[in-house]
């Protein structure tokens, strides 16, 4: 454990961003739906009363619809719009890997994630030479060089991440072993896309 405890949103900034996106999205779509409902509502009390009476007559003639009346459709609409907003906020901007050359911090993930499904859909294998990157397309092969010891390895991008602020790439345990970073857990690296 770290001596300085971090807030959950510092450890997982994308989750915090997704939560904020969901909250803002829900407020936005709720406001939109309310404006539409108000615009469609008659302004005259007499018209409103007449409409209400005719709706009651209609509901009495359609008893099977009573259990679905109320705010259920509005809640479903708000939920669907919020979900779409959340998904749009989580979507990464995929970049062209041609000429990609960046330096940053690498970390590795292994046994705890072994067998879990990656963002590309394939199961994670800690013994394969794979990595997670936020923006490079799946299938991109990159050369990762440990700047502390000049060891390098070629990995294939098959997952999204890292989900920790300040990190450039997460590599598999096997790649971390070849890079000589198992003991430290992280290392300064150079990541170069291979053509």
List, in order of start, the domains of the chain with CATH numbers. Answer: 8-90 (no CATH), 101-193 (2.40.40.10)
- Provide the pLDDT for residue 93: 80
Q: How many angstroms separate the first and last alpha carbons of the chain?
A: 40
- Provide the pLDDT for residue 121: 93
- Provide the pLDDT for residue 94: 86
Beta pairing class for 169-172 and 101-109? parallel
- Provide the pLDDT for residue 163: 86
pLDDT, the chain, mean: 76
- Provide the pLDDT for residue 38: 54
Q: Could you tell me the pTM of the whole model?
A: 0.55
- Provide the pLDDT for residue 41: 47
By residue count, the chain amounts to 195
Residue ranges of the chain whose pLDDT lies below 70: 1-72, 81-92
- Provide the pLDDT for residue 42: 46
- Provide the pLDDT for residue 110: 78
């Amino acid at each position: 454990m770290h001596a300085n405890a971090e807030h959950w949103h510092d450890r997982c900034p994308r989750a915090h961003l997704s939560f904020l996106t969901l909250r803002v999205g829900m407020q936005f779509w709720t406001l939109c739906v309310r404006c539409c409902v108000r615009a469609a509502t008659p302004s005259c009390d007499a018209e409103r009363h007449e409409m209400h009476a005719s709706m009651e007559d209609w509901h009495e003639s359609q008893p099977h619809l009573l259990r679905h009346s109320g705010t259920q459709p509005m809640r479903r609409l708000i939920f669907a719009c919020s979900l779409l907003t959340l998904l749009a906020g989580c979507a990464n901007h995929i970049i062209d890997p041609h000429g990609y050359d960046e330096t940053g911090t690498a970390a590795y993930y292994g046994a705890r994630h072994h067998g879990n499904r990656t963002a590309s859909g394939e199961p994670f294998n800690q013994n394969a030479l794979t990595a997670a990157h936020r923006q490079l397309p799946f299938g991109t092969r990159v050369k990762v060089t440990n700047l502390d010891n000049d060891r390098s390895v070629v990995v294939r991008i098959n997952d999204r991440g890292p989900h920790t602020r300040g990190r450039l790439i997460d590599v598999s345990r096997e790649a971390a072993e070849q890079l000589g970073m198992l003991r430290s857990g992280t290392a300064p690296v150079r990541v170069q896309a291979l053509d």
